[in-house]
Chain A
Amino acid sequence: MINIPCPFCGPRNESEFSFGGPVKPDRPDPNSVTDEQWVEYLTTVPNPLGAVQERWWHVRGCGTWLTIWRDTRTHDIVKGPNDA
């Protein structure tokens, strides 16, 4: 039961949220990429051991979709590689 930092509400119980999965690259224009690239976009999901960037939806809360970095080994919420 992790404690998720909602940017609007502050830290809240995981049970208030719906898991949105790892952050994928932005959706390309399907008409401008190859079929392989399109399938790659649809089917490849980041799955690192360690820090993963992921989304959560504060569905039983303010409704915000937020992004965190979480270490898959320990559940620690960590800074991402590009965070100051």
Chain B
Amino acid sequence: MSYDVTTDRLPTFAIFDFKGTRKTLEKWTKFTLPDAPNRFIVNTGVILCHIGPDHWLLRAPLDREETLESQLKPTNAPADISIVRISDTQTFFSITGPNAAEVISIGCPMDLHETVFPQNSVSFSEFFTVKALIMRIPLGFEVAVEQSYANMIADYLDRATA
């Protein structure tokens, strides 16, 4: 590979989509939600991302999905908030290594410099023309795209790092 980078397709995560006011969501879910836009916090292995106005994502390893579902009770949640399991809708890729920033900037137009996208940053943007969730991690980035586009993104990453 020409770039010093590792790209991997990651296994499915447990992901829940939260919409509603922070107060009502925190009360029902019992999770503290980050206040700053496009930032995430980690709480006992659960990542909580603030990725839109009144919009958060919860991400955890897949083996916690059932427990989380019974804890979050999407079907019984108050009428004025929305909790939806969307685990299968996102396929995650990791881009790590010394050239991770170069490689991700082939597909993503966002400014990902550490001064404007520091650790604990997460945002929806685009990656190779499709909507993607971009997260900074210590060794590089994680990128999630709609599952149906995953093969196309893998194709692009192979070509970019050939």
How far in angstroms is the closest Cβ of chain B from A25? 25
Partner of A8, one of B52, B126, B129, B132: B52
List of B residues within 8 angstroms of A64 by Cβ? 52-53
Q: Verify B126–A60 contact, CB threshold 8 A.
A: yes
Beyond A8-B52, A61-B124, whether A13 also contacts B110 by CB under 8 A is: yes
Is A24 among interface residues, defined by CB-CB distance under 8 A? no
List of B residues within 8 angstroms of A45 by Cβ? none
Q: Which residues of B contact A (CB under 8 A)?
A: 37-38, 51-53, 55, 109-110, 123-126, 129-132
Q: Verify B131–A12 contact, CB threshold 8 A.
A: no
List of A residues within 8 angstroms of B132 by Cβ? 60
Tell me the complex Cα distance, A62–B55, Å: 8
List of B residues within 8 angstroms of A60 by Cβ? 124-126, 130-132
Partner of A59, one of B109, B110, B123, B131: B131
Is A9 among interface residues, defined by CB-CB distance under 8 A? yes
Q: Verify A9–B123 contact, CB threshold 8 A.
A: yes
Beyond A8-B38, A12-B110, A13-B110, whether A62 also contacts B51 by CB under 8 A is: yes
Nearest A-chain residue to B126, judged by Cβ: A60
List of A residues within 8 angstroms of B51 by Cβ? 62
Is A63 among interface residues, defined by CB-CB distance under 8 A? yes
Is A16 among interface residues, defined by CB-CB distance under 8 A? yes
Is A15 among interface residues, defined by CB-CB distance under 8 A? yes
Q: Which residues of A contact B (CB under 8 A)?
A: 7-9, 12-13, 15-16, 59-64
Nearest B-chain residue to A61, judged by Cβ: B124
List of A residues within 8 angstroms of B38 by Cβ? 8-9, 62
List of A residues within 8 angstroms of B129 by Cβ? 15
Tell me the complex Cα distance, A35–B55, Å: 40
List of B residues within 8 angstroms of A9 by Cβ? 37-38, 123-124
List of A residues within 8 angstroms of B131 by Cβ? 59-61
Q: Verify B126–A63 contact, CB threshold 8 A.
A: no
List of B residues within 8 angstroms of A59 by Cβ? 131
Chain B CB within 10 A, most for which of A7, A15, A61? A61
Tell me the complex Cα distance, A67–B126, Å: 21
Tell me the complex Cα distance, A59–B125, Å: 9
List of B residues within 8 angstroms of A63 by Cβ? 52, 55, 124
Tell me the complex Cα distance, A16–B130, Å: 9
